[in-house]
A and B are shown apart, each in its own frame.
Chain A
């Protein structure tokens, strides 16, 4: 029997993206640059997170025209973002045939209580998380891929590091706990017991976990890979920098050879100015995208 949209098929695409870099793009030309640089997928957007921050107002799903033009320009998978809880935007993206939907805190949330029931879709979803409990809640809703949130549009890796370290520390805690403590741990984390048990048995998250939110240099990418990321999302970091082409290639190479300092030294050389960074401590609470999602 032929079955489409099974969890194995959804999760499987994320597994094929491992060790790779997914880049935010806003035009077909940028998508082609990303593909040529070795990106494993692109995220089609109207604005990169740094510009969403600057523009203010309500950030929504991109115009289907923009997404379709990008889908036509490249052969690698194309992802696109919907607002948290906005299942109608997700239905539109599924109808367009995008390969992965990002239910993303970068856009303005549409529902402050409930995320999308992602099991209802054939297209897989990736969701952001700051800790293990949040990741497992998203997986319970049907997410087939997780990315730690970081703080998007800042070019500052500090929050990405915080979230990846938190995730890994909490996974280790679950793995090392005796089984009779798991119900209490699940309650504390606000995570389904069955998924906590799965983490204990597998020693890792049940799905692929990429790092996102503040990665701007090849060294940032290597840092996140060494901290345990399965791959890298770069949002504003590529096309807000002085030389996107060279930087994109360098981030790809750094992600592959994250544990080889000689390669890292070579690829980090002469890339021009990175994107301007933001000190995360100067952000007001309502400006912190990572706090969106529940």
Chain B
């Protein structure tokens, strides 16, 4: 199994390391040709405006949409969540509109307010997940078929819609591999 990590900008190597530690193969993806050779795609954290613009400039957005419609599993973290959302509250920026969720950018504040916390994620079992939120978004509404996987207070920060998954936090910045393993299971299903 080959997992692609969209490598336009952001925390690419951290995701590649995490997937590799799970025992799967991870490759950086910068071109449409490389997109055709992967069994799953991770859109990493970074600046969503930057990644979004570059994605459109290189025509990657169309191919990701087509592949996702054909069932390619996609997992977005932080900026990746914003890019996967159907709607971004208050912002016009290029994005994929794949998941029926509405994303709110920088919803916990600026970097000063960024934080880490023990998050309860029932789908992973009882042990909490150490979640790192960096200028993080959240999901303020979800459509039919979207499963909420975790919340901070009343804000949705982790959700899944069939073969698509998005987290507002960064599983690639901690040693706990459970979320990457969950995504790999989705890719082999």
**Complex CA distance for A15 and B109, rounded to whole angstroms:** 18
Tell yes or no: B8 within 8 A of A by CB.
Answer: yes
Q: Is B161 interfacial (CB-CB < 8 Å)?
A: no
Shortest Cβ gap from B125 to chain A (Å): 20
- Given the interface pairs A17-B47, A256-B30, the reply to whether A9 lies near B134 with Cβ below 8 Å is yes
Q: Are A15 and B173 neighbours in the complex by a CB distance under 8 Å?
A: yes
Contact A16 B132 (CB under 8 A): no
Interface string of B43-79 (1 = CB under 8 A from A): 0011101100110010000000000000000000011
Q: Inside 8 A of A17's CB, which chain B residues have their CB?
A: 10, 46-47
- The binding surface of chain A is classed by DSSP as loop
Interface size on A, residues (CB 8 A): 37
Given contacts A40-B9, A40-B50, contact A16 B45 (CB under 8 A): yes
Q: How far is the CA of A94 from the CA of B112 in the complex (A)?
A: 8
What residues of chain A lie closer than 8 Å to B109, measured between beta carbons? 97
Which of A2, A8, A35, A123 is the one whose CB lies under 8 Å from B111?
Answer: A123
> Which residues of A, 28-54, contact B by the 8 Å Cβ criterion?
35-36, 38-41
Is B150 at the interface (CB under 8 A from chain A)?
no
CB of A229 to closest CB in B, whole Å: 14
B39 near A: Cβ within 8 Å? no
Q: Which one of B12, B47, B115, B118 contacts A41 once the chains associate, using CB atoms below 8 Å?
A: B47
B47 touches A256 (CB 8 A): no
The contact string, 1 if C-beta is below 8 Å from chain B, for chain A 199-233, is 00000000000000000000000000000000000
Binding site for A on B (CB under 8 A): 7-14, 30, 45-47, 49-50, 53-54, 57, 78-79, 91, 105-106, 109-118, 132-135, 170, 173-174
A interface with B by C-beta (< 8 Å): 1-6, 8-9, 12-13, 15-20, 35-36, 38-41, 75-77, 94, 97-100, 122-124, 252-253, 256-257
